[in-house]
Amino acid sequence: MNGFVASEPLAKARSYEEHMEAFIEPKDRPVFHLSPRVGWMNDPNGFSYYDGEYHLFYQYSPYTITWAPMHWGHAVSKDLLSWKHLSCALAPDMPYEKHGGCFSGSAIELPDGRLLLMYTGAGENGKRKDGSPIEHQTQCLAVGDGVDFQKYEGNPVIDGSSLPEGSSTEQFRDPKIWREPDGTYRVVLASLGPDKSGQIVIYRSDDAFTWEFEKVLSRNCWRYGIMWECPDIFTLDGKDVLLVSPQDMLPHRHDFYSGNGTLCIVGFVDPETGMLMEESTSGIDHGTDFYATQTILSPDGRRIMVAWMQNWDAIAGSIPSTRWFGQMATPRELSVRDGRLYQWPIRELEGWRRNRVAHSDVAVGNEPIALEGVSGRVVDLLVNVRPEGDTYQEFILWFAQDKMFHSSIRYRPAHGTLEISRIHAGMRRAYVQHRKCDIPGAPAELSLRLVLDKYSAEVFVNDGVQALSMTLPTVLTADAITFACKGQVSIDVEKFDLVDPAEE
Ligand code: FRU
């Protein structure tokens, strides 16, 4: 950007990442999941299509592989799968970011062609009696050309003083901005409401720089965790959909589990009250690692969701000797059918499929079987399972497997549940290593899609009615895939290696 001068913290981060990324070998990274240029990554930020490319920013600490005052990392891609790292976009260099740095936010192209970033400044507002800082979160702007971003001199543009009385500005964050058809702007934000549980609010603006409080969109009322993070609201297939990431969830059957979760509310915004009327609620992803979703509308009209493929409670599993930590989930196309959210890996992934191997009508019984040509760790695997006879109780698929390690997917039609497990994947810490979810309709026939990329597994069930994601620490030589069942089934299997077409 003409005349742009990086602040000292930004210049330092940029030169550090440029120097240190050479110590990370591309072969040690996921193939098509975005990982940080160096250091630590959490939430996706500023997901946008700008100047002919997708831009994805992320919560970033270049110097550590644990969370530390937040910068914004930055990458671009033409297909959302093959990523190119750009320079660090934001560094904490302002008084209003003094406590935690530049927290999560979003991006939008302005009518004059510049890219606007809106993010939370995690500042400080005095001290408690015990000397600990009182965090003060405000909403801030930076404007740029897609590489360099100048923080707005009028920051913060939303300080929370017009929030409903009793709301918290210690917890007031994660702006997701959009433009209405009439050219005005809205931003959806999360805060703690007067009842000290999450509330989702909307602010409006004519020019994206001057903001006023518009309304409360939704209230948690202590139902799903406490604080709700990273809200996103959009209309899809005739419904209004709110995605949030609740903290401190209580488990509820298999749909929600304790810790940091994800929540999808499908309903409609009441034109009278402006509140989101809820028709159904469900978890978004039921695996061990999925949080902080953000969506955009792609130029061809698809609602695409990204997320951090990690879990705050699972970061104890990071390996001190590595130079990066954290990765994004495969971007997913969303749809709403019968009032439910469906997710499917972006269709661009199909363009990466190579070396097709197919087996039809394979009889599977109690003895595990392997199939010729079906193995690998960077793989797209499609499996259809049909019961044979009436003894069928459970179908099991093992992957990332050798003599010592394996992960698994288990479907129990009588219970209507599907479980993923990495208990034997080589985890060195004893946090949660398996998760279960209900499969709507509990059909006897099952269709699975398993997407593997070195250090992760993502499972999509029955056309995407459920999704489960988990990271894997398993050595890459553990690449067997085997099948078994309790009873008798017949399966069709289609397997592809996933290869970047640009690298052939
Ligand atoms: C969610 C979150 C956000 C916050 C960011 C800080 O994972 O806690 O609410 O903006 O991470 O890194």
pLDDT at position 254: 87
201-207, Cβ contacts within 8 angstroms, sequence gap of 24 or more: 201/163, 201/164, 201/167, 202/274, 203/139, 203/158
Contact 209, 203 (CB under 8 A): no
The DSSP output letter for 249 is B
Separation between Cα atoms, residue 413 and residue 446, nearest integer Å: 9
* Domain spanning 353-498, CATH architecture: Sandwich (2.60)
Q: How far apart are the first and last CA of the chain?
A: 34
pLDDT tens, residue by residue, 465-481 = 999 999 999 999 999 99
**Is the backbone of residue 11 left (phi > 0), alpha (psi -120 to 50) or beta?**
alpha
Q: Pinpoint the residues of the chain covered by CATH 2.115.10.20.
A: 8-348
Would you state the pLDDT for residue 165? Answer: 95
Whether the Cβ atoms of residue 451 and residue 412 lie closer than 8 Å to each other: no
pLDDT of residue 503: 87
Task: Quickly state the pLDDT bin for 454 (edges 50, 70, 90).
Answer: very high
Q: What is the pLDDT of residues 212-271, one digit of tens each?
A: 999 999 999 999 999 999 999 999 999 999 999 999 999 988 889 889 999 999 999 999
> 320 pLDDT band (50/70/90 cuts)?
low
Average per-residue pLDDT in the chain?
96
Q: Please give the radius of gyration of the chain, using alpha carbons only, rounded to the nearest integer.
A: 23
The domain defined by 8-348 carries CATH number 2.115.10.20: yes
Does the beta carbon of 174 sit less than 6 angstroms from any atom of ligand 1? Answer: yes
Active site residue 43: yes
Question: Ligand 1 pocket, 328 CB below 6 A?
Answer: no
For a substitution probing ligand 1, which of 40, 41, 43 has the most ligand atoms within 8 Å of its CB?
Answer: 43
Cβ of 120 less than 6 Å from ligand 1:
yes
pLDDT at 391 over 70: yes
Distance CA 17, CA 325 (A): 14
Residue 428 has pLDDT above 90, yes or no: no
Using 50, 70 and 90 to split pLDDT, how confident is the model at 430?
Answer: confident
> What pTM, to 2 d.p., does this model score?
0.97
- Beta pairing, strands 133-144 & 340-345: unpaired
Question: For residue 168, is pLDDT > 80?
Answer: yes
How far is Cα 369 from Cα 387, in angstroms, rounded to an integer? 17
With a pLDDT cut of 70, the percent of the chain lying above it is 99
Ligand 1 atom closest to the CA of 227, numbered from 1: 9
106 lines ligand 1 (CB under 6 A): no
For position 316, what pLDDT does the model report? 72
pLDDT tens for each residue of 331-340 = 999 999 999 9
Q: Is the pLDDT of residue 492 over 90?
A: yes
| C-alpha of residue 120 to centroid of ligand 1, in Å | 9
Spatial CB neighbours of 42, under 8 Å, sequence gap ≥ 6: 58, 59, 67, 292, 308, 310, 326
Confidence band of 182 (pLDDT split at 50, 70, 90): very high
Q: What does the pLDDT read at residue 2?
A: 81
Measured in Å, residue 197 CA sits from the centre of ligand 1 at 16
For ligand 1, pick from 64, 171, 229 the residue to mutate: most ligand atoms within 8 Å of CB: 229
The 8-class DSSP code of residue 9 comes to: H
Give the model's confidence band at 1: pLDDT under 50 very low, under 70 low, under 90 confident, else very high. confident
Which of 28, 43, 313, 492 is the catalytic position? 43
Could you tell me where in the chain the CATH 2.60.120.560 domains are found? 353-498
- For 475-495, b where at least 16 C-beta lie within 10 A, e where not — what string? eeebbbbbbbbebebebebbb
Test site for ligand 1: of 103, 191, 200, most ligand atoms within 8 A of the Cβ? 103
Q: What is the pLDDT of residues 42-100, one digit of tens each?
A: 999 999 999 999 999 999 999 999 999 999 999 999 999 999 999 999 999 999 999 99
User: Which H helix or E strand runs over 226?
Assistant: none
pLDDT tens per residue, range 5-51: 999 999 999 999 999 999 999 999 999 999 999 999 999 999 999 99
* Residue range 139-144: mean pLDDT, rounded: 98
Q: What are the pLDDT digits (tens) for 98-130? A: 999 999 999 999 999 999 999 999 999 888 999
Atom of ligand 1 nearest to the CA of 120: 10
